[in-house]
Structure 1
Amino acid sequence: MFERETWRSEEKAAFLVKAGVLLEQGYTLHQALQLLSWEQPYKVKEKIMQMIEELLAGTPVHDMLAHHDFPSDVTAYVFFSEQGGGLAEGLIGAGELFRKRLKTWTSIRQLLRYPLILVWAVVMIAVVMVQFLFPSFRELFQSLDIEFPLLTRMMIVIFQYVPYLLFGMVPFVLLGVLYYAIRFRQFAPDKQFALLWKIPFLQSYLQLFLTYYFSLQFSSMLKGGISIYEACQVFEKQHHFPFFQLEGTLLKQKLKEGKPLSAAVENSGWYRKDMKYVIQHGQEAGKLDEDLRFYGERVIDMLEARIKKTVMTLQPSLFLVIGSIILIMFLSVFLPMFQLMSSIQ
């Protein structure tokens, strides 16, 4: 039987959660990895044994995960948890974060599957019409000295120019890829996000994600006994999420200038405005870590709900557009037939 050679993302997420649960039960990380390796196929077991060797050589957990292609936001999550002294909770949280993202992408793919099938059907129908139906109609109508209906003539012209339009888009796509590879990736993280921020439909999603990530990671470090200033230093020295590395430097500088955390966060402009009030309330009540954790969980729920709502709105819109195109295509075929029947009568 052919053995799978890759470590699937769903299995990686489950691995993180299980490792965290075993740590909570009193196992060392070394023991937890050994236990988890027993239930894995050979190729994955090899990877876990490599992870154990890296740990024994003194490699931090977050770097070990990065070496084995875990996403950067997941490894950063583990890094922050390590700094706060809550590795078990951090592994579970990172695994759940990974799972939520995979679940969201799966939902998006499922919702877009049928519209994409319809798009493929439209393309196939168009090819048949252009290659077979319209040429046959043209010969017949020319022999009878009859003109095509207006809709049919329009569809013929559109079908003639669509291939040129598609080929004309190829250079722009290539330019976009080159711009990303050569230019965009060289920008500082804040400039990258600033450019993405200008895309209207993307701004609200980025804001929710950054707010969620900041509040949850800050909460985990505060819970571990780290001060607000030290938490900013931890943000600054991590290398898995460059945006928050720079953000940590800027927040630390504002704290040095005497600004409270709530004002520093508000001035950055990247986060939801209501996070300022959450921070103020948490500091006044002496439970900033709890307030930020609760707030972060609410924000991720809002982000998931917004993504689902967008996709659920997009799907019927695509169905409507594709259905209209199919209807017009069939009308462009049937109208000449009706006209031909009328002329014969």
Structure 2
Amino acid sequence: MKNKWSNAEQSVFIGRLNSLVQKGYSLDEAIRFLSLQAAQKRRGDYHFCLMELKRGTPFHQVLQQLHFHRDAVTYLFFAEQHGDLAFSLNESSQLLSRKHEQFIKITRMMRYPILLIFIMMGVLYVVQHIIAPQFLSVYQSMNMKPSPLNTVLLASFQFLAAASFAFPVLFLLAGSFYFLSYRRKPPAQQMNMLMSIPLVKEWVKLFNSYYISLQLSNLLKAGLSYYECLVTFREQSLYPFFSEEANTMINRLKKGDRFEELFAQPHYDPQLAEIAAYGQRNGMLHREFYTYSQYTLQRLEEKLSSAAAFIQPAVFTSVGLIVLLVYLSMILPMYQMIDQI
């Protein structure tokens, strides 16, 4: 267990497990079969899985100890509640595969812009500490004053250089706030903080709606009542917010609130309550929840792609403007000196 599994490796492992389980293999038989083909560095993990399963450890806890992705682990936790292991293995594999594909896509899109940013930080440093002082010394030796435009350009470089080197400080402060303050707050307060961030709250609402609708769909399909579904949510510990949320929903049900009213909350997509009401009317709530969860997942992926597509041209535009400023900062002082001669 010394080598962390990448998302791609986790996806392949769970996908192969799903294929073998669908062919009639038991879980331990499937893991034993896959261990025969595993790389040497992974065989210890396969042996660990088999030993823990023999001790009666739930499969989701085994994967949690192997540091598998939290989403995949929660899928398997709910699979143990509704009994459809093959379906949950398939969903987990697809989710991890999508996450890996999105990571690769975004990495490829951002690789060149990030390289340009570091190059431009170096250029700004050279302009501020080498080129600008040289021109200023020439101005002084020729008893000239920089033109207003040159003064603005030099000041802009000082500002850009300070801003570029402030990013690591801001990143450090954000990390300190996350580990020292945010993580120590109760889940409900964490959610309220996320919902107060304009650009983040839409992502949070979609993820919350996707996650709860998908898991409720599987539990309802297995024949559990609304109350039993929420009790299952309350028992899971990987997403503490949903554990507290389920407890709140149970109390509201006891007070007489309708099931669809439970989702009329600011941290859910407004469509979720409508889907819940519609599914209850036609008696196919599990189907409506599942279909809605897949559409919501597509919306999340589209938002991620749109954000990445916006960031890349924004970086290119910023770099282009900085290059133009560098060019002007070198050319304009030369023209001014020529005019003074």
User: CA offsets, 1:1-42, max 9 Å, x none?
Assistant: xxx944222111221121112111110111111222233221
Amino acid in the other structure paired with 1:199: I
Query: Number of residue pairs matched?
Result: 340
Counterpart in the other structure of 2:326: 329
Counterpart in the other structure of 1:274: 271
Q: Mind listing any 5+ residue stretches in structure 1 that lack a counterpart?
A: none
Amino acid in the other structure paired with 1:329: V
Indicate conservation of the 8 Å contact 1:17/1:93, yes or no. Answer: no
Other structure's SS at 1:79 match: helix
Amino acid in the other structure paired with 1:181: F
Counterparts of 1:199-214 in structure 2 under 5 Å? 199-214=197-212
Query: Whole-Å Cα distance in 1 between the matches of residues 250 and 73 of structure 2?
Result: 22
Q: 2:31 aligns with which of 24, 28, 33?
A: 33
Amino acid in the other structure paired with 2:292: Y
Indicate conservation of the 8 Å contact 2:121/2:164, yes or no. Answer: no
Query: Whole-Å Cα distance in 1 between the matches of residues 313 and 277 of structure 2?
Result: 43
Q: 1:313 to 1:168 in 2, by over 3 A?
A: closer
The range that moved more, 139-148 or 288-297, is 139-148
Q: 1:301 aligns with which of 281, 298, 314?
A: 298
Counterpart in the other structure of 1:185: 183
What is the deviation of 1:210?
Answer: 0.6
User: CA offsets, 1:99-139, max 9 Å, x none?
Assistant: 22232233222222222122112112122223332233233
Q: 1:195 aligns with which of 189, 193, 196?
A: 193
Counterpart in the other structure of 2:289: 292
The structure showing larger relative contact order (alpha-carbon pairs under 8 Å, at least 6 residues apart) is: 1
Counterparts of 1:120-135 in structure 2 under 5 Å? 120-135=118-133
**TM-score, length of structure 1 as denominator length:** 0.91
Q: 1:322 to 1:167 in 2, by over 3 A?
A: closer
Amino acid in the other structure paired with 2:337: L
Amino acid in the other structure paired with 1:86: D
User: CA offsets, 1:241-297, max 9 Å, x none?
Assistant: 11111111111112222222111222x332112222222222222211111111110
Q: 1:82 aligns with which of 80, 85, 88?
A: 80
Percent of residue pairs identical: 29
What is the deviation of 1:166?
Answer: 6.4
Query: Whole-Å Cα distance in 2 between the matches of residues 306 and 135 of structure 1?
Result: 45
Other structure's SS at 2:146 match: coil
Task: Give the CA RMSD over aligned residues.
Answer: 2.2
Q: 2:337 aligns with which of 324, 330, 340?
A: 340
Other structure's SS at 2:112 match: helix
Indicate conservation of the 8 Å contact 1:82/1:90, yes or no. Answer: no
Query: Whole-Å Cα distance in 1 between the matches of residues 139 and 181 of structure 2?
Result: 55
The range that moved more, 156-165 or 279-288, is 156-165
Amino acid in the other structure paired with 1:47: D
What is the deviation of 1:163?
Answer: 6.0
What is the deviation of 1:204?
Answer: 0.6
What is the deviation of 1:67?
Answer: 0.4
Counterpart in the other structure of 2:246: 248
Amino acid in the other structure paired with 2:255: E
Query: Whole-Å Cα distance in 1 between the matches of residues 306 and 173 of structure 2?
Result: 32
Amino acid in the other structure paired with 2:203: Y
Q: 1:154 aligns with which of 152, 155, 166?
A: 152
Counterpart in the other structure of 2:263: 265
**TM-score, length of structure 2 as denominator length:** 0.92
Query: Whole-Å Cα distance in 1 between the matches of residues 188 and 171 of structure 2?
Result: 24
Indicate conservation of the 8 Å contact 1:141/1:147, yes or no. Answer: yes
Query: Whole-Å Cα distance in 2 between the matches of residues 288 and 115 of structure 1?
Result: 45
Query: Whole-Å Cα distance in 2 between the matches of residues 328 and 167 of structure 1?
Result: 18
Amino acid in the other structure paired with 1:299: T
Query: Whole-Å Cα distance in 2 between the matches of residues 174 and 125 of structure 1?
Result: 24
Amino acid in the other structure paired with 1:337: M
Counterpart in the other structure of 1:115: 113
Query: Whole-Å Cα distance in 1 between the matches of residues 142 and 67 of structure 2?
Result: 67
Counterpart in the other structure of 2:47: 49
Query: Whole-Å Cα distance in 2 between the matches of residues 162 and 24 of structure 1?
Result: 58
In the alignment, structure 1 residue 221 sits paired with structure 2 residue 219: yes
User: CA offsets, 1:127-164, max 9 Å, x none?
Assistant: 22233322332333332223333333334344456666
